[in-house]
């Protein structure tokens, strides 16, 4: 087994510790590669550390794209942020470090870590174009809420040698956690199909019975995890391409302003959030057609697809391939793991609060016209 880890950072920027310039990030990454590839699993080499020095990266368009290809083929990406977004070809506004991180997050948000090492560098530039790239990168990171992972070294231990050792240990911890997450997800997938008997039972059900099973299972879990938010649970008891199955959900979000006025929902001040268990497959195109607006944010992950419409803060979670009780439970758990691992859970709750406020204004506006 080879676990391929890409370490992204600037190359020539130098450490600045105790008012003294030190080794470059290239030297640091070469040190990390050398030390990490000594690690073994049951006496076998298992880590491959990829840094741009190993594939002769330079400052050309081809090199820029080669870095992104290496990200796609890696199992895990660790970005070392020191304030510099990196170089870019003339026609591109994203520095290479920004582009590498964006590509890694696009590939899989669970397989990315960012370490903020900016406290140990003195980065400045007079290049106005580079400043724009750096500001764009900083804004991108702020939007992701990813600045909560700084490298911390006790002041009395702060020197160049200890910087390398502390960074090495943090990266070892991150890789170990990444592998543990992979094992946990694999364990979920072993259970995904459940017993063949249950799969046959659900396959033989009529749409109505299958809908009831999926909704019942999801309701128990969702209500427990989101007790202070209005949540609407429904299903598509076949593929989304099947019209009769899709009719079970319709365009339910269009009734959200009425939902918050229901007597049972008066105690809530957030939501609704829509959870949809899909027996078959769901695609981003099908979901955009269902919502009637292609300008939506969609995140496709192991559980299915998370949808957020930014203007009105509509949120929908499509859990795909809910073909057995075990698969339904597993996909919901995978969504929860994703939401927490990517630090989206609090944003999802804030969007639910914003959704409620927007709907309340709609309802108030209606009373003016009566």
Residue 140 confidence (pLDDT) = 83
Residue 90 DSSP symbol: T
Q: Are residues 228 and 329 in the same domain?
A: yes
Domain range for residue 239? 194-368
Inside any domain, residue 200: yes
Q: Are residues 106 and 246 in the same domain?
A: no
Q: Are residues 173 and 308 in the same domain?
A: no
Q: Are residues 124 and 210 in the same domain?
A: no
- State the residue for tokens 């008066």: 266
Residue 63 confidence (pLDDT) = 79
Residue 45 confidence (pLDDT) = 93
Inside any domain, residue 155: yes
Inside any domain, residue 150: yes
Q: How far is CA 4 from the centre of its chain?
A: 19
Count other C-beta atoms under 10 Å from residue 40's C-beta: 10
Q: Are residues 31 and 126 in the same domain?
A: yes
Inside any domain, residue 285: yes
Average pLDDT over residues 118-133: 91
Contacts of 155 (CB under 8 A, 6+ apart): none
Integer CA distances (angstroms), 90 to 93, 94, 248, 345, in order:
8, 10, 51, 37
75 pLDDT more than 60? yes
78 pLDDT more than 80? yes
92 pLDDT more than 80? yes
* Number of domains making up the chain: 2
On the CB side of 41, CA atoms within 13 Å amount to 9
Residue 29 confidence (pLDDT) = 94
| Tens-digit pLDDT profile for residues 266-310 | 889 999 999 999 999 888 888 888 887 777 888 888 899 999 998
Inside any domain, residue 45: yes
CB-based contact 327:315 (threshold 8 Å) = no
CB-based contact 83:95 (threshold 8 Å) = no
Of 158, 184, 210, the one marking the end of a domain is 184
Q: Are residues 244 and 123 in the same domain?
A: no
d(CA 246, CA 5) in angstroms, rounded, equals 41
Inside any domain, residue 189: no
Q: Is the C-alpha dihedral spanning 8, 11, 13, 18 positive or negative?
A: positive
Of 137, 163, 184, the one marking the end of a domain is 184
- pLDDT tier at 56 (50, 70, 90 boundaries)? low
Inside any domain, residue 314: yes
| Tens-digit pLDDT profile for residues 217-239 | 999 999 999 999 999 999 999 98
Of 153, 184, 215, the one marking the end of a domain is 184
Q: Are residues 163 and 250 in the same domain?
A: no
CATH number at residue 111: 3.40.50.10140
Peptide bond into 203 cis (omega under 30): no
Mean pLDDT rounded to a whole number for the chain:
87
Q: Are residues 54 and 117 in the same domain?
A: yes
Q: Are residues 55 and 91 in the same domain?
A: yes
Residue 194 confidence (pLDDT) = 52
Inside any domain, residue 258: yes
Residue 192 confidence (pLDDT) = 55
Q: Are residues 169 and 215 in the same domain?
A: no
Q: Are residues 124 and 228 in the same domain?
A: no
Q: Are residues 218 and 352 in the same domain?
A: yes
Residue 213 confidence (pLDDT) = 95
């Amino acid at each position: 087994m080879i676990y391929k880890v890409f370490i992204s950072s600037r190359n020539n920027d130098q450490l600045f510790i105790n008012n003294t310039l030190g080794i470059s990030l290239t030297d640091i990454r070469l040190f990390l590669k050398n030390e990490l590839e000594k690690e073994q699993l049951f006496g076998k080499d298992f880590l491959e550390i990829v840094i741009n020095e190993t594939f002769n990266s330079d400052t050309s368009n081809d090199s820029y794209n080669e870095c992104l290809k290496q990200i796609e083929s890696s199992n895990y990406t660790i970005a070392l942020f020191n304030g510099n977004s990196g170089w870019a070809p003339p026609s591109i506004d994203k520095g290479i470090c920004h582009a590498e991180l964006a590509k890694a997050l696009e590939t899989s948000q669970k397989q990315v870590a960012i370490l903020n090492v900016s406290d140990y560098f003195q980065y400045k530039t007079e290049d106005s174009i580079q400043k724009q790239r750096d500001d764009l990168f900083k804004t991108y990171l702020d939007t992701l809420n990813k600045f909560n992972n700084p490298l911390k070294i006790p002041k009395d231990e702060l020197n160049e040698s200890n910087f390398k050792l502390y960074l090495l240990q943090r990266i070892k911890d991150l890789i170990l956690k990444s592998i543990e997450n992979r094992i946990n997800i694999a364990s979920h997938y072993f259970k995904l199909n459940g017993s063949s008997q249950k799969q046959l039972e659900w396959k033989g059900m009529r749409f109505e019975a299958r809908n009831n099973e999926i909704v019942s299972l999801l309701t128990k879990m969702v209500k427990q995890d989101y007790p202070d938010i209005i949540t609407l649970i429904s299903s598509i008891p076949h593929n989304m391409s099947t019209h009769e199955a899709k009719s079970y959900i319709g365009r339910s979000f269009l009734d959200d302003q009425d939902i918050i006025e229901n007597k049972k929902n008066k105690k809530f001040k957030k939501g609704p959030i829509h959870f949809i268990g899909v027996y078959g497959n769901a695609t981003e195109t099908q979901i955009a057609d269902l919502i009637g607006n292609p300008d939506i944010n969609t995140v496709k992950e192991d559980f299915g697809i998370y949808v957020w419409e930014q203007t009105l803060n509509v949120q929908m979670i499509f859990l795909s391939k809910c073909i057995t009780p075990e698969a339904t439970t597993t996909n919901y758990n995978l969504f929860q793991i994703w939401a927490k691992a990517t630090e989206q859970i609090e944003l999802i709750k804030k969007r639910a609060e914003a959704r409620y406020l927007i709907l309340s204004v709609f309802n108030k506006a209606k009373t003016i016209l009566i």
